[in-house]
Structure 1
Amino acid sequence: MSAVTGKTRWWSAPPRPAWEEAPGRAGVAGKGLVLTLACLGVLFPLWIVVVTSLSSRRTIDEAGGLVMIPRDLTLVAYRELLSGGQVTRAAVISVLITLVGTAFSMTVSVLCAYGLSRTGSLGHRWLLMLLLATMFFSAGLIPTYLLVQSVGLTDTYLALILPSALSVFNILVLRGFFMGISQELTDSARIDGAGDVRILWQIVMPLSRAVLAVITLFYAVGYWSAWFNASLYLNDQEMMPLQNVMIQLVQKQEAPVGLGQAIKTGELSGLAVQMAVMVMALLPVAVLSPFVQKHFKKGMLTGAVKG
């Protein structure tokens, strides 16, 4: 911008809108303060939960409940929980349900999304409309329960997987990402004699690692955190996953089998046991999320935009 004529010279950059201007020092400091407070708001409760789970009964009694300052740390709560009782069995059940359910859901979702991404496939438009309809219309809880009961899935672990095995949203994200892959690659492979299975396995899936990692995390977190299906379809307490045991411990104040006597005799604090179960339930998600975080932008936004 010329100071004399007030006109923009041809070599100067065009003016940017106000929302694209570089933030000043006050803006940077304000953003840093907001982000710091947000992080503290998330991390501080987690800190209290972890410290309380590692505290002795005397420390918890002196603090009058939740412990903020670590003192006399001990692993007795975790050692008792993992000594082979109800919590250990529930954790193993949750891990197996998560692994099997995630593998099944990803297999069906990838196959469905790949078929719907091929615009020339038979009936793909009608199938897509049918899937979209399930996002807005549902039979309801009672018909679903009657269906699960009629096929004999009650009191079985399949009742924790099959009723929630598919997510139409995840299928649409995968479909959008698959459609963004260059058609020339698949056409050249088909000319060389490759079938759909080989194209999917050797071309489409290697190019879709980002979105596959994100959708896998979504399914895994869903299975790990699920508790409603177990409370609805399972009657045997020994088959309950970890989340249901945590609900019984925290909300209903029911001690896990094998720990009731230890709590009554004063060897363990009931609050420490509750916090330890919470940490065990949160630990897998907290450990896996950072490894998939880098794929979120590429996997989710690209798939959603190109869908």
Structure 2
Amino acid sequence: MSPASVVPPSPAGGNRAGELAELLRSCVSDPSRVLTGVPQRAAAAHDASHYLLDPQAVVRAASAQEVGALMAAARATGLPLTLRSGGTSLSGQAGTDGLLVDVRTHWRQAEVLDDGLRIRVQPGLTVRQANARLARHGRRLGPDPASESACTIGGVVANNSSGMTCGTQDNTYRTLESLEFVLASGTIVDSAAHDADGLLRAREPELHAGLLRLRDRIRASETSRTTIAHQFSMKNTMGYALNSFLDHTLPVDILAHLMIGSEGTLGFVSHAVFRTVPVMPHASTGLLMFSGLAEATDALPALLAAGA
């Protein structure tokens, strides 16, 4: 259903839990995917962290439209909403005492494009599963987190995952081509569409204008430009990708790249298109011994220049 058609429950009287369940069922095509029983909520009460938060309901969303409707409903009722995919977080990002939306169960499709040069994936697919589809083309995803067998694309994008070997050139930010995302208002935007920026401006005029103001403010400040360029010349996966204001001009492209590393605070990524990297035919590991820390760090520029 359209997010605009969501009607919040009555704020007073009645069975609040029942009203919430009824509202959530109106947001999805199959009401059985709304789980309010104690066993189902307890099973989703923690991720890989030590935090324990009992959600009021768990919804297994199956489309971007459903996620949009759920976001609109949560916004109308003031109910916190958390998106959960792999649940491998050690910091508690995948837990909530509000509404938990499962975006893994029905989100595991992948489409290999251009003989493996690109791949379009949904957020519930793990990195290893995506790489398995690319293997016959001699390609793989750039980010290579150590938890690739369990972590999913949704978390990879949300955390700007990198890994031990991708450096600053093959991480999520640098290899992502486009995103389809859902904003808190329920608006769905595909940044690859030819009219994506116009759609964002028409549906989210304040957001579009705000991004333009921030872009111009940052670019007009030499201090801001220098600071951002310096911070993101290093391996940096923490916080919003502010370098998007320097790297991109259109608000829709800026927003799509701000999504990377935003930990779900700006919206939900329903599809991501990545440019892939080649799988090297040979790999080796070397051990270099240095007399001290200064000598070791002084050697880094030469090692990086050699392609290590």
For the aligned pair, the TM-score class normalised by the smaller chain equals under 0.3
Q: TM-score, normalised by structure 1?
A: 0.22
Q: Flag the structure with higher strand content.
A: 2
Q: Which has the higher contact order (CA 8 A, sep 6+)?
A: 1
Pick the structure with greater CA Rg.
Answer: 1
Q: What TM-score comes out, normalization by structure 2 length? A: 0.22
